[in-house]
Amino acid sequence: MSKILEIFDLRASIKEDGREILKGINLSISEGETHAVMGPNGSGKSTLANVIMGNPKYEITNGDILFMGRSIKNLSTDERAKLGLFMSFQMPEEIDGVKMRQFIINSYRNMKPDDEITVLKLSSKISDYARDLMLGDEFLQRYTNFGFSGGEKKKGEILQMGVLEPRLAILDEIDSGLDIDAMRIVAQSITKIKNGKTALLLITHYQRILNYVVPDFVHVYIDGQIVTTDGASLAKEIEEKGYNFVKAGDVHE
Ligand SMILES: Nc1ncnc2c1ncn2[C@@H]1O[C@H](COP(=O)(O)OP(=O)(O)OP(=O)(O)O)[C@@H](O)[C@H]1O
Ligand SMILES: [Mg+2]
């Protein structure tokens, strides 16, 4: 299976104060694989996602990130997105004045400028995904994320991902703040997208979503490092025992 994302000994710091957050990450994701990252608050999970996406607040001080065999560490976020990288935000931004449907159409045109899909087809694809997520047409008429509930924002992120069909989607706590039904609905949509070849990097605190979107690998992430990697059962073990049972320095990979 071909490699989608390869991360080698990646170190990165916050530009503003020089504090190192990523302390030597190694990670390899192949086509269609689902990887879960679990770790305590403040350990640097969102920072890892941000560095993969090229957020300019962080500086890579060592190592490399390859996306489909090519180094992306000097590319802008927009260029990375055009290659097929997608990230959902832990807290999506409100975009006043741009309706959700238009926002997704704009993103699609920006990411896939050569795709000749008509507005009509694209629009009906958006409606189909919205329906899967139990979102009515009126949702698509609202300004993007504006006044959305926490769950609606998360669903909006999944909707975008479904329509864009990225090669790799990084979902940062997509399950947080979702009620049981919403989580199941979101998980079903993620599974549908995953079945269509998109590889997933799921950052989560809870094993619950992993009952629906079963990961091929679970990585325990503590203080800027992946300290252990195993199959789906590792998530259950963490939920039962907490992070203390994982020996720091026990770096697999
Ligand atoms: N842009 C930034 N400016 C200042 N500090 C930052 C910045 N980005 C990350 N940090 C700090 O880096 C550390 C790691 O943060 P990060 O958000 O990556 O953790 P996390 O593992 O995602 O936590 P959580 O589980 O709470 O979401 C924290 O101490 C955070 O305050
Ligand atoms: Mg986070």
Nearest ligand (C-alpha, residue 48): 1
Nearest residue (by CA) to ligand 1, atom 3, is 14
Nearest ligand (C-alpha, residue 16): 1
Q: How far is CA 217 from CA 37, 77, 210, 242, in A?
A: 9, 26, 11, 18
pLDDT digits (tens, 9 = 90+) for 96-110: 889 999 999 999 999
Whose structure tokens read 């790799």?
168
**Listed range (136-140, 232-236, 245-249) with the worst mean pLDDT:** 245-249
State whether CATH 3.40.50.300 applies to domain 3-241.
yes
The domain spans of the chain are 3-241
Residues 131, 155: contact at Cβ < 8 Å? no
CA distance 169 to 143: 24
The pLDDT value recorded for residue 90 is: 73
Sign of torsion over alpha carbons 10, 174, 233, 6: negative
CA distance 176 to 160: 18
- Separation of CA 103 and ligand 2 centre (Å): 25
The pLDDT value recorded for residue 30 is: 96
pLDDT at 204 over 90: yes
- Separation of CA 175 and ligand 2 centre (Å): 12
Mean pLDDT, residues 160-189: 93
Please give the residue that has the higher pLDDT: either 242 or 123.
Answer: 123
pLDDT digits (tens, 9 = 90+) for 21-31: 999 999 999 99
